[in-house]
């Protein structure tokens, strides 16, 4: 092997060594044994390798990019969110958080009530600041400002859920409302595995903007009222109250035939047993005659369910 | 005018004037941020980063970027890369600590890296990105096999040995080809820059 051959082999190897260095697998290559002119060209080659390295895989199209989706940048009909220009930064994090809660409330068209002075504030876990309570039907979510990644958080939330059984979930958000996670009690409680012993609670999901995290939580829990095809027949049907009462009684009877073992299910069955089917049927008729719209019906039913459960 | 795809050089003036939306900003910085995030994670973990970790880093870094006041920024792409690299290193530390199962014993899981980024760091990252764009142009002029080699073993995660095996070559032959490809790109960049300088001189 000639000297030139050895030098070429050395230069080939240097590229590999530099890539290993970039990947954290070795020290930065030493060029001091190379002639000065070669040192310069090799350094230029390194810069090119560095600029090109780790470019694959490239980002998917915006509509399919998981990060863009998580950031809420993708969505049909959503208008572009403009960035504030120079000198217009929103320095007060609290305001951003409040604005995000308003956004959630607006999205659900008033079905969510937001209490900015929640009664459980004094019981807030250490390191978290009580912000609000968001309530819809039987769901009450405590919203806190704090670090959703803090290692002591699950322990603090377990205690909080024990003190406040009426709270069904806790949402912990950064003060800028950009990193928020919703914790259900199961996400903050250790579980017992017969083989492995006590297991740490699993993390519910990666942090995402408050409006998305809370919005998704409520979307999953709110009942969906699907449009019924060919429902027009009901608007002209005679003795509709009788038909409604028969259908209602049949459904209630089916539910009552079950033999629940869990206490809260037994309680639910008791409530169902006490429902006044004639009153329910009259409600359906008021919708048929157009005296009540579907939103009002939902409100009435929610009120009846709430009264029965209390 | 606003409906047009933003030119990277136009990003900063548009942002400063309050005429830039988040999706347009993200579209321009997503790739450079992903690259910087991979670097940052690798730098600490010495292993191929997991896609989910890279996405987490890009998400956090973009949130940090959009909070910045554009008045104090010298290069949007440079800053985006600098942030993503730092947050990648943070994520790398988190991964290592989880790997070592010291999660419970550390009160602050990760000491977050710098939140302010020096102009020098931002400029270096911006120059790096500029070099990448020129190098990418030059890459298109290389023979097919050289292009494939660079795309897989430098831009992608394939090792040189795997590439050589796939192409039925010896490792040494592949290694030589790789250096020649980089040398060709280097010369092409030099020629392009020299053309630009001459063009500017003629224009003035």
* Count of domains observed in chain B: 2
pTM beyond 0.80, yes or no? no
The residue whose two tokens read 């002119």 is A37
Q: What's the pLDDT score for residue A280?
A: 82
Would you say A90 and A120 are in contact if contact means Cβ atoms under 8 Å apart? no
Q: From the list B30, B43, B182, which residue is nearest A49 (CB)?
A: B182
CA distance A136 to A220: 12
Which residues of chain A are within 8 Å of residue B58 when distances are taken between CB atoms? 67
Report yes or no on B108 lying in a domain: no
Would you say A170 and A153 are in contact if contact means Cβ atoms under 8 Å apart? no
- Cis peptide bond N-terminal to A57, omega within 30: yes
Express each pLDDT in B67-79 by its tens digit.
788 888 889 999 9
Average pLDDT over residues A156-168: 88
Residue A294 clears pLDDT 90, i.e. is over it: no
Which residues of chain B are within 8 Å of residue A43 when distances are taken between CB atoms? none
CA distance B64 to A191: 35
Q: What's the pLDDT score for residue A260?
A: 82
Q: B147 vs A122, which has greater pLDDT?
A: B147
The residue whose two tokens read 């309570």 is A133
Residues B73 and B141 in one domain: no
Q: What's the pLDDT score for residue B108?
A: 45
Asked if B67's CB is within 8 angstroms of A51's CB, the reply is no
Asked if B71's CB is within 8 angstroms of A86's CB, the reply is yes
Partner B contacted by A189 (CB < 8 A): no
CA distance A240 to A285: 7
3-state secondary structure chain A: CCHHHHHHHHHHHHHHHHHHHHCCCCCCCCCCCCCHHHHHHHHHHHHHHHHHCCCCCCCCCHHHCHHHHHCCCCCCCCCCCECCCCCCCCCCHHHHHHHHHHHHHHHCCCCCEEECCCCCHHHCCCCCEEEEEEEECCEEEEEEECCCCCCCHHHHHHHHHHHCCCCCEEEEECCCCCCEEEECHHHHCCEEECCCEEECCCCCCCCECHHHHHHHHHHHHCCCCCCCCCCHHHHHCCCHHHHHHHHHHHHHHHHHHCCCCCHHHHHHHHHHHCCCHHHHHHHHHHHHCCCCCHHHHHHHHHHHHHHHHC
Residue B37 clears pLDDT 80, i.e. is over it: yes
CA distance B60 to A208: 9
Would you say A62 and A80 are in contact if contact means Cβ atoms under 8 Å apart? no
Q: What's the pLDDT score for residue B77?
A: 93
Mutation target to probe the B interface, by most B beta carbons within 10 A, among A11, A17, A53 is: A53
Report yes or no on B102 lying in a domain: no
Report yes or no on B14 lying in a domain: yes
Residues B122 and B184 in one domain: yes
Express each pLDDT in A222-240 by its tens digit.
777 666 666 666 666 667 7
Report yes or no on B110 lying in a domain: no
Report yes or no on B79 lying in a domain: yes
Residues B130 and B78 in one domain: no
**Domain final residue, candidates B96, B129, B152:** B96
Average pLDDT over residues A107-119: 79
Q: What's the pLDDT score for residue B107?
A: 44
Residues B129 and B91 in one domain: no
Express each pLDDT in A234-259 by its tens digit.
666 667 778 888 888 888 898 899 88
Residue B171: which domain range?
A: 117-203
Residues B122 and B49 in one domain: no
Residue A164 clears pLDDT 50, i.e. is over it: yes
Residues B7 and B92 in one domain: yes
CA distance A155 to A187: 10
Residue B110 clears pLDDT 60, i.e. is over it: no
Task: Provide, rounded to the nearest whole percent, the portion of chain A with pLDDT above 90.
Answer: 13
Residue A43 clears pLDDT 90, i.e. is over it: yes
Q: What's the pLDDT score for residue A198?
A: 80
Return the number of other C-beta atoms located less than 10 Å from residue A175's C-beta: 17
Report yes or no on B106 lying in a domain: no
Q: From the list A15, A62, A83, which residue is nearest B182 (CB)?
A: A15
Residue B167 clears pLDDT 70, i.e. is over it: yes
CA distance B114 to B112: 7
Residues B8 and B58 in one domain: yes
Report yes or no on B22 lying in a domain: yes
Average pLDDT over residues A57-72: 86
Q: What integer best gives the mean pLDDT of chain B?
A: 84
Interface list for B 147-166 with A (CB within 8 A): 150-151, 153-157, 160
Residue B204 clears pLDDT 70, i.e. is over it: no
3-state secondary structure chain B: CCCCCCCHHHHHHHHHCCCCEHHHHHHHHHHHHHHHHHHHHHHHHCCCCCHHHHHHHHHHHHHHHHHCCHHHCCCHHHHHHHHHHHHHHHHHHHHHHHHCCCCCCCCCCCCCCCCCCCHHHHHHHHHHHHHHHHHHHHHCCCCHHHHHHHHHHHHCCCCHHHHHHHHCCCHHHHHHHHHHHHHHHHHHHHHHHHHHHHHHHHHC
Residue B8 clears pLDDT 80, i.e. is over it: no
Interface list for A 10-29 with B (CB within 8 A): 11-13, 15-16, 19, 22-25
Which residues of chain A are within 8 Å of residue B161 when distances are taken between CB atoms? none
Asked if B22's CB is within 8 angstroms of A80's CB, the reply is yes
Partner A contacted by B102 (CB < 8 A): no
Residue B202 clears pLDDT 80, i.e. is over it: no
**Domain final residue, candidates B62, B96, B130:** B96
Q: B109 vs A43, which has greater pLDDT?
A: A43
CATH (domain of B129):
1.10.10.10
CA distance A229 to A188: 43
Would you say A207 and A180 are in contact if contact means Cβ atoms under 8 Å apart? yes
Q: B2 vs A224, which has greater pLDDT?
A: A224
* A286-295, B65-74, B132-141: range with highest mean pLDDT: B132-141
CA B111 to centroid of chain Cα atoms: 23
Partner A contacted by B28 (CB < 8 A): no
Partner B contacted by A6 (CB < 8 A): no
Q: What's the pLDDT score for residue B114?
A: 55
Q: What's the pLDDT score for residue B102?
A: 57
Asked if A48's CB is within 8 angstroms of B185's CB, the reply is yes
Q: What's the pLDDT score for residue A91?
A: 45
Which residue is closest to A42 within chain B, CA to CA?
B183
Q: What's the pLDDT score for residue B150?
A: 94
Residues B92 and B127 in one domain: no
Report yes or no on B121 lying in a domain: yes
Enumerate residues 6+ apart whose C-beta is below 8 A from B116. none
CA distance B124 to B130: 10
Asked if A62's CB is within 8 angstroms of B21's CB, the reply is no
**Domain final residue, candidates B96, B127, B154:** B96
Q: What's the pLDDT score for residue B106?
A: 47
């Amino acid at each position: 092997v000639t000297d030139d051959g050895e030098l070429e082999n050395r230069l080939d190897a240097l590229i590999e060594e530099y890539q290993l260095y970039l990947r954290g697998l070795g020290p930065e290559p030493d060029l001091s044994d190379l002639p000065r002119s070669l040192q310069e060209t090799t350094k230029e080659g390194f810069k090119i390798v560095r600029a090109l390295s780790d470019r694959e895989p490239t980002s998917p199209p915006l509509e399919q990019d998981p990060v863009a989706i998580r950031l809420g940048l993708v969505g049909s009909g959503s208008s572009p969110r403009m960035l504030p220009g120079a000198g217009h930064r929103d320095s007060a994090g609290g305001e951003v958080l409040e604005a995000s809660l308003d956004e959630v409330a607006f999205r659900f068209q008033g079905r969510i009530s937001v209490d900015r002075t929640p009664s459980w504030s004094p019981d807030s876990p250490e390191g978290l600041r009580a912000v609000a309570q968001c309530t819809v039907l039987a769901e009450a979510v405590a919203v806190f400002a704090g670090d959703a990644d803090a290692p002591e958080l699950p322990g603090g939330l377990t205690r909080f859920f024990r003190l406040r059984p009426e709270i069904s979930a806790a949402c912990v958000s950064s003060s800028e409302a950009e990193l928020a996670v919703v914790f259900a009690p199961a996400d903050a409680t250790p579980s017992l595995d017969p083989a492995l012993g006590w297991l740490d609670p699993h993390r519910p999901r990666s942090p995402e903007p408050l409006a998305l995290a809370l919005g998704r939580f409520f979307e999953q829990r709110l009942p969906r009222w699907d449009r019924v095809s060919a429902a027009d027949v009901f608007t002209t049907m005679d003795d509709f109250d009788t038909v409604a009462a028969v259908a209602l009684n049949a459904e209630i009877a089916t539910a009552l035939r079950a033999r629940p073992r869990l206490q809260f299910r037994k309680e639910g069955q008791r409530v169902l047993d006490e429902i006044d089917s004639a009153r329910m049927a009259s409600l359906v008729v008021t919708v048929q005659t157009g005296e009540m719209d579907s939103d009002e019906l939902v409100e009435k039913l929610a009120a009846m369910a709430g009264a029965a459960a209390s | 005018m606003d409906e047009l795809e933003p030119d990277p050089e136009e990003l900063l003036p548009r942002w400063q004037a309050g005429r830039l939306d988040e999706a347009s900003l993200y579209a321009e910085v997503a790739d450079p941020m992903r690259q910087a995030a991979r670097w940052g994670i690798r730098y600490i973990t010495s292993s191929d980063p997991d896609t989910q970790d890279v996405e987490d880093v890009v998400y956090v870094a973009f949130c940090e970027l959009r909070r910045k006041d554009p008045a104090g920024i010298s290069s949007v792409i440079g800053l985006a890369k600098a942030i993503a690299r730092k947050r990648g290193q943070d994520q790398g530390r988190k991964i290592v600590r989880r790997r070592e199962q010291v999660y419970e014993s550390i009160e602050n899981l990760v000491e977050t890296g710098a939140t302010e980024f020096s102009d020098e760091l931002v400029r270096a990252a911006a120059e790096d990105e500029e070099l990448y764009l020129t190098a990418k142009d030059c890459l298109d002029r290389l023979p097919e096999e050289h292009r494939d080699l660079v795309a897989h073993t430098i831009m992608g995660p394939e090792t040189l040995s795997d590439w050589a095996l796939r192409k039925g070559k010896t490792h040494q032959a592949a290694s030589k080809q790789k250096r020649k490809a980089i040398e060709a790109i280097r010369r092409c960049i030099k020629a392009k820059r020299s053309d630009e300088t001459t063009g500017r001189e003629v224009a003035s």
